[in-house]
A and B are shown apart, each in its own frame.
Chain A
Amino acid sequence: MTVHLHRVVVRHAGRTLVDVADVHLEPGRAVTVVGESGSGKSLLAHAALGTLPAGLAVHGAMSIDGVPHDVGDQAGRRPLWGRTLALLPQEPVLALDPTMRVRDVVAEGAPTFARDRRAARRAALERLAGLGVAHAAGAYPHQLSGGMAQRVAFAAATIGEAPVLVADEPSKGLDVAARDDLAALLRRHVEGGGVLLTITHDLDLARALGGDVLVMREAEVLERGPVEQVLTTPTHPYTARLLAAEPARWAKAWMRDGGPPEGSPLLVHAEQVTRTLGGRRLFTGLDLDLRAGDRVALTGPSGSGKTTLGRVLLRRHPVDSGRVTHHDLARRRGRAPVQQLHQDPTQSFPAFVPLRAALGDAVRRHGVAPGRLEELLGTMRLDPGLLERRPGGVSGGELQRLAIIRAMLLHPALLLADEPTSRLDLLTQEETLDALMGQVEQQGTALLLVTHDTSLAHAVADREVVLPGGVTTPTAVLAGR
């Protein structure tokens, strides 16, 4: 089975969202479209599937095994769904009916389901077993971990034996281990002679899948070719910029080997700290000292309790046993030495208040020098006009930088950054972290960075605390870059 897309154009209200000349999908070779949000990569995939929302103007031609289809006629491909074309959903937990057991969801997609439910059920169990999640067959979606839900969704999407599989941002929210797992599943589909089109912003996933890669930006394909070529020796400057934004390739002034100067004062002393959450041991007997200017990454797979550990160290979360002592981190008027950045900055600002008012309250409360706010805005290349808006009217990257400004205005001694860039594109991530680390370097702030991205942790931190997840004793790893 081969699929050819020819001159696919998607427009909305005079704007061209997708304009792609041709894409060839062949069995046995993965094709991955990479690009940032808004590049039109998802729309391209959904145009091919026929799952675009109404209201978009779609044009183009495609052929599936030589049979021509009009891409503009979205409903025309409905009969192919499940048997010829399959979609691996973005957020598997949401894609599974919350009121149904996993095996029933998987079984209803089996070709035999309408005729013989027993056989469909058997097929579902076999498929789940083949993916190593047979024990989840009787579970409900909310009981699954992220990685398991991904496998169940994979089983449900592929039980119809459709040769063409489209995966739309399948690694969203997955940690490294689960992502590798997913890549293996997708490769298995390709190796079995299937056609695979993957949409992702995750360059590592693209590398893991192999085959060909298309780089999209602003509705167009900028560059295409074999993954190993495009993602090592790119020809288009945009691809080069994208690659350079990967943390592993950073070279920044604030990066350093080793830690803070000898004899920096102790800020946090954690002794034999243990915490259990929802019946699971997150960490046991953990010892950790934080000194002024320290940069420590808390890493581990999702669910390993890294955020919990961060908040335990801030003494904003209880421990089951052990002790966390703070030295000179008490809060008083004019001094708020402990600050936190959130994964989703919109949630850390009052939603209905202009940003100027929200930041102004902090400026007044702490007697921040006049002009300091504007100065920081300038340093971070933010338009002061943004302050007249509400948090919802500012992009995620800009708002996170405003959150950084708000925190750093107060010269905190310790900053907990909780996955501050995990929702941002590569380029925005680089810009945001650069802004943050510039201030951290300048002010000598101690940083606790919670992240699931090990290369980011390597780039930013002097030390890492790796929470293994599922295992009871954590290993504190000293890692240089």
Chain B
Amino acid sequence: MSTGAPAGTATTPPDVTDGDRTDQDGAAPAALPPVTDGGVGRAVLLLLVRRALQAVGVVVAVTTACFAIMHTLPGDAAYRIAAGRYGYDFVTAASAEAVRAELGLDRPPWQQLVGWWGDAARLQLGTSLVTGADVRHEVLHGLGHTLQLAGLALLLASVLGIAAGAAAAHRPGGAVDRLVGTWVVLARSLPPFVVGLLLVVLLAVQAGLLPVAGSGTPAHAVLPALTLAVGLSGLVARVTRDAVVHVRSSEYVRFAQTRGLGAGAVLRRHVLRNVGTTLVAYLGVQALVLVEGVIVVESVFAWPGIGHTLVHGVFWRDVPVIQGTAIALALAVVAVNTVVDVATLLLDPRPRETAVVA
């Protein structure tokens, strides 16, 4: 499910019909546009507004879907909610009626939907229909575990991927490049659960080096993090390799060389900077892949994060839990992308032709 590849442009394409591209450069020195940092500030503001709208849209979409799920569940919603609150043994017709009146379950569906949105907006995520636990608490609790796992995986993937990508770019078409290329293909094509399965079988079951699943000790984190990192590292390696090859063949690197800058200075001052910009921008795409990976890997290894909670919720059709975790994961994607956008804007002064998607 590791997408992120065909990332289209998000902004409208440049108006190519306006053929006079040279219109950009006036001849007179006076035509220098003032170098204002206010431009960056404005850009950041615009970006934040756009991302905020996206976040609102995401929450509306997820809550609406959950509302729909709620209404397709068999049986009486009021009974289920009452059961969630008081436990199945204590549900009575009266308590169900009380819930119905309280939540307005007898109102027309669209009114209920608006009320549902309102609850989500006030972060009233309700309680689990299964365990009765406070969903907000569950989400916050799981989020910590998830962030631990994701952070560790991202770190591993970056170290592995950047090293492999840089090595591959050293001689494009060479043996290392082809080896890394193969790795990229393998890492990208195998779904995380298969990678996890293979690692479990090899490292835990056969070699007995690590615990198969669960949490608690640092050793428990190794396999899930490794599983996530394998998939991600392929992407990182590929992007790094392409960026390094691209930058190293650029005119500005050649110009720096002919001006007498040593290999080290060219690397430090020009290659790292520009490759870094590309990599940071790419983190945004990775957020999607990472979130999808987290959901799967947590379930495979019974890691107590929100991905695991979500799958559990889906299994038991525990709508408040599904809604809380899904909102958290989708917002995480938006948040990561917002940070990436701002960072890219600050790192790369060029006006951006294409926005980083996702």
A interface with B by C-beta (< 8 Å): 49, 51, 81-83, 85-87, 89, 91, 94-100, 108-109, 132-133, 135-136, 138-140, 142-149, 153, 156-157, 159-160, 173, 175, 177-178, 277-280, 282, 301-308, 311, 316-317, 342-343, 418, 469-470
A307-B19 in contact (CB<8A):
yes
Cα(A308)–Cα(B260), bound, Å = 42
> Knowing A49-B258, A156-B259 touch, does A307 contact B350 (C-beta < 8 A)?
no
Interface residue B94 (Cβ < 8 Å from any Cβ of A): no
Cα(A108)–Cα(B259), bound, Å = 9
A143-B32 in contact (CB<8A):
yes
Please, what's the 1-or-0 string for B257-294, where 1 marks a CB less than 8 Å from any CB in chain A? 11111000100011001100100000000000000000
Identify the stretch in B22-30, B52-60, B121-129 within 8 Å (CB) of chain A at 4 or more residues.
B22-30
From B22, B252, B258, B347, contact of A302 by CB (8 A): B22
Cα(A91)–Cα(B257), bound, Å = 16
Which residues 29-79 of B sit at the A interface, judged by CB distance below 8 A?
29-33, 35
CB distance from B32 to the nearest CB of A (A): 6
Q: Give 29 pairs: A residue, B residue, CB < 8 Å, sorted on A.
A: A82-B259, A82-B261, A89-B254, A94-B251, A95-B252, A97-B252, A98-B274, A100-B273, A109-B260, A133-B29, A142-B349, A142-B350, A145-B25, A146-B25, A148-B32, A157-B259, A160-B259, A277-B23, A279-B33, A280-B31, A302-B23, A302-B27, A307-B19, A316-B17, A317-B18, A469-B27, A469-B28, A470-B30, A470-B31
Cα(A376)–Cα(B25), bound, Å = 38
| Closest residue of A by beta carbon distance from B277 | A99
| Closest residue of A by beta carbon distance from B39 | A143
A308-B25 in contact (CB<8A):
no
B259-A177 in contact (CB<8A):
no
Interface residue B89 (Cβ < 8 Å from any Cβ of A): no
Q: Is the interface of A mostly helix, strand, loop or mixed?
A: loop
| Closest residue of B by beta carbon distance from A178 | B27
Please, what's the 1-or-0 string for B323-358, where 1 marks a CB less than 8 Å from any CB in chain A? 000000000000000000000000111110000000
B27-A301 in contact (CB<8A):
yes
Given contacts A132-B29, A156-B255, 20 further A-B contacts (CB under 8 A): A94-B250, A96-B252, A96-B255, A100-B269, A108-B265, A109-B260, A133-B29, A143-B33, A145-B25, A147-B27, A157-B259, A175-B27, A301-B26, A302-B23, A303-B22, A303-B26, A303-B27, A317-B17, A342-B19, A470-B27
| Closest residue of B by beta carbon distance from A46 | B258
Interface residue B199 (Cβ < 8 Å from any Cβ of A): no
Q: Which residues of B contact A49 (CB under 8 A)?
A: 258
Q: Which residues of B contact A342 (CB under 8 A)?
A: 19
CB distance from B33 to the nearest CB of A (A): 6
Interface residue B102 (Cβ < 8 Å from any Cβ of A): no
Which residues 233-256 of B sit at the A interface, judged by CB distance below 8 A?
250-252, 254-256
CB distance from A20 to the nearest CB of B (A): 21
From A51, A86, A146, contact of B254 by CB (8 A): A51
Q: Which residues of B contact A278 (CB under 8 A)?
A: 23-24
From B18, B28, B349, contact of A470 by CB (8 A): B28
CB distance from B211 to the nearest CB of A (A): 45
| Closest residue of A by beta carbon distance from B17 | A316
From A139, A177, A308, contact of B20 by CB (8 A): A308
From B20, B32, B261, B273, contact of A99 by CB (8 A): B273
B251-A308 in contact (CB<8A):
no
> Knowing A138-B35, A143-B35 touch, does A82 contact B258 (C-beta < 8 A)?
yes
B25-A82 in contact (CB<8A):
no
CB distance from A60 to the nearest CB of B (A): 19
- The 6 A-B pairs with the shortest beta carbon distances in the complex, nearest first, are A82-B260, A307-B20, A302-B22, A95-B255, A301-B27, A303-B26
Chain B residue total in the interface (Cβ 8 A): 39
Q: Which residues of A contact B22 (CB under 8 A)?
A: 146, 173, 302-303, 307
Chain A CB within 10 Å, residue with most, of B22, B261, B347, B348 = B22
> Knowing A108-B269, A278-B23 touch, does A51 contact B258 (C-beta < 8 A)?
yes
Cα(A311)–Cα(B265), bound, Å = 47
| Closest residue of B by beta carbon distance from A149 | B25
Q: Which residues of B contact A147 (CB under 8 A)?
A: 25, 27-29
Cα(A108)–Cα(B252), bound, Å = 13
CB distance from B28 to the nearest CB of A (A): 4
Q: Which residues of A contact B258 (CB under 8 A)?
A: 49, 51, 81-82, 85-87, 157
| Closest residue of B by beta carbon distance from A146 | B25
A145-B259 in contact (CB<8A):
no
| Closest residue of A by beta carbon distance from B26 | A303
CB distance from B162 to the nearest CB of A (A): 18
Cα(A280)–Cα(B257), bound, Å = 37
Q: Which residues of A contact B259 (CB under 8 A)?
A: 81-82, 86, 108-109, 156-157, 159-160
Chain B CB within 10 Å, residue with most, of A109, A178, A418 = A109
B20-A98 in contact (CB<8A):
no
A136-B32 in contact (CB<8A):
yes
Q: Which residues of B contact A470 (CB under 8 A)?
A: 26-28, 30-31
Cα(A98)–Cα(B251), bound, Å = 11
CB distance from A208 to the nearest CB of B (A): 17
> Knowing A140-B350, A143-B35, A316-B17 touch, does A160 contact B27 (C-beta < 8 A)?
no
B351-A99 in contact (CB<8A):
no
CB distance from B348 to the nearest CB of A (A): 6
Q: Which residues of B contact A135 (CB under 8 A)?
A: 29, 32
From A140, A142, A303, contact of B23 by CB (8 A): A303
| Closest residue of B by beta carbon distance from A106 | B259
CB distance from B278 to the nearest CB of A (A): 11
Cα(A112)–Cα(B260), bound, Å = 12
B23-A307 in contact (CB<8A):
yes
Q: Which residues of B contact A95 (CB under 8 A)?
A: 251-252, 254-255
CB distance from B31 to the nearest CB of A (A): 5
B273-A311 in contact (CB<8A):
no
Cα(A76)–Cα(B19), bound, Å = 45
Cα(A277)–Cα(B22), bound, Å = 12
B256-A108 in contact (CB<8A):
yes
Q: Which residues of B contact A85 (CB under 8 A)?
A: 258
CB distance from A49 to the nearest CB of B (A): 7
Cα(A142)–Cα(B28), bound, Å = 15
CB distance from A162 to the nearest CB of B (A): 8
A97-B27 in contact (CB<8A):
no
| Closest residue of B by beta carbon distance from A143 | B33
Q: Which residues of A contact B270 (CB under 8 A)?
A: 97, 100
B277-A177 in contact (CB<8A):
no
A308-B265 in contact (CB<8A):
no
CB distance from A6 to the nearest CB of B (A): 23
CB distance from B215 to the nearest CB of A (A): 42
CB distance from A415 to the nearest CB of B (A): 15
Q: Which residues of B contact A140 (CB under 8 A)?
A: 35, 349-350
A81-B257 in contact (CB<8A):
yes
Q: Which residues of B contact A98 (CB under 8 A)?
A: 252, 274, 348-350
